[in-house]
A = this chain, B = another copy of it.
Amino acid sequence: KQIILLPGDGVGKEIMESAKRVLNTISSEFGHSFTFHQHEIGGDAIDQSGTPLPEDTIKACQHADAILLGAVGGEKWDSLPAYLRPEKGLLGIRKTLGLFANLRPVKGFSPLLDASPLKEEVIKGSDILIIRELTGGLYFGKPSERREDGEVVVDTLYYQRNEMERIIDKAFQSAQLRNNHLTSVDKANVLESSRMWREIVDEKSKDYPDVTVEHLLVDAAAMKLITQPDQFDVLVTENLFGDILSDEASVLTGSLGMLPSASIRSDGVGLYEPVHGSAPDIAGKGIANPLGMILSAALMLRHSFGLEKEALEIEEAVSQCLEQGYHTPDLHMKGGQEVGTKEMTEMVIDNLT
């Protein structure tokens, strides 16, 4: 299996090293063979090659079985023009590779629930899979431009029917693998695109009679995620709503540094990255939390390689570390023991072997 590593900016390099070590452990334990090739993306690529997404990074990714991404961005590049910003690298790779389905599982770890901004009785038992459409909508619709000498500006929310269909199918199928409940989020009382989305969800629901479907307006969803997070199973929505709601959901458990994400397409090729950002303030200090990256590698094993057992091993090893009381400085744990990136990675590997 060919894995492309895109460490990117900030803490990206350190946590990528951790993921690689964990994957090497898995490959020797289970007798798999993973090969790694590292390439540039984001601010790192801007510094080295003058562009956030160099041609040879694109080429390498096009031939990969899966991609691991650390993080992109940082203040250093914030004043560059839009087309030269680190984020463009990320948007470009998603679009070029057609990674239309963004999966963001949000689940609390009991030893960390204390760090949640929510009361324990509210957050307890929450286990949400947010599925965000990732290659359409306002992110890529044209026109997106100034008009009339800058007196007017326009962005376009554009979707093709089949773009909605494939993500909605993915969501129904994901619900079938979980608790058979699907919440579809839109703004059908205002947007034509949302009305089409809702129609497609209703049509598709006939093909998945075992899944119960609930429609929720995006404003109501933003409320319910806070007041009743335990009432969700799978939540599916379009690109921009998904951006907002998945980030909102990511802070509910109080352990953002732990959360993985997958961006995949139908043939199983996918890009895996932690939800947290590049955290330039702690980069190079050896204290970044590698668990979001390690759990992203687990998602890769599951979704791109079909290695469910190996994925579960990693997830269990991570849970065990937390139960043993180990945590990086970003996580608050009463009576736990604070460790750095390398030690945390060692602990995971110890629990694996």
| Given known contacts A119-B117, A119-B118, A122-B117, A155 and B226 CB-to-CB distance under 8 angstroms | no
Minimum distance in angstroms from A134 CB to a CB of chain B = 12
Give me the 6 closest cross-chain CB pairs, A-B, nearest first.
A219-B247, A222-B248, A155-B157, A117-B122, A153-B196, A153-B193
Q: Which B residues are in CB contact (< 8 Å) with A159?
A: 152-153
| Integer count of this chain's copies in the complex | 2
| Given known contacts A226-B117, A244-B244, A251-B223, A193 and B155 CB-to-CB distance under 8 angstroms | yes
Q: What separation, in Å, do the CA atoms of A211 and B297 have in the docked complex?
A: 45
Q: Please name the residue on chain B nearest to A82 by beta carbon.
A: B195
Residues on A facing B (Cβ under 8 Å): 82, 85, 87, 91, 116-119, 122, 138-139, 141, 144-146, 150-162, 187, 189-193, 195-196, 218-220, 222-223, 226-227, 240-241, 243-248, 250-252, 256
Question: A145-B192, A154-B193 are known contacts; what are 15 more A-B pairs with Cβ within 8 Å?
Answer: A82-B189, A117-B118, A118-B226, A119-B119, A153-B158, A153-B159, A155-B157, A187-B243, A190-B240, A218-B243, A219-B243, A220-B247, A222-B222, A223-B251, A244-B244
A227–B248 contact, CB under 8 A?
no
Q: What separation, in Å, do the CA atoms of A117 and B248 have in the docked complex?
A: 14
Minimum distance in angstroms from A311 CB to a CB of chain B = 27
**Which of B122, B160, B241, B247 contacts A223, CB < 8 Å?**
B247
Q: Which B residues are in CB contact (< 8 Å) with A119?
A: 116-119
Minimum distance in angstroms from A157 CB to a CB of chain B = 4
Q: What separation, in Å, do the CA atoms of A77 and B145 have in the docked complex?
A: 38
B156–A161 contact, CB under 8 A?
no
Selected A-B contacts with CB under 8 Å, 14 pairs: A82-B195, A118-B226, A146-B196, A150-B196, A154-B157, A155-B156, A155-B157, A190-B240, A219-B243, A223-B247, A223-B250, A223-B251, A223-B256, A227-B251
Q: What separation, in Å, do the CA atoms of A103 and B308 have in the docked complex?
A: 50
| Given known contacts A119-B117, A251-B226, A252-B226, A144 and B240 CB-to-CB distance under 8 angstroms | no
| Given known contacts A219-B244, A226-B248, A243-B219, A91 and B190 CB-to-CB distance under 8 angstroms | yes
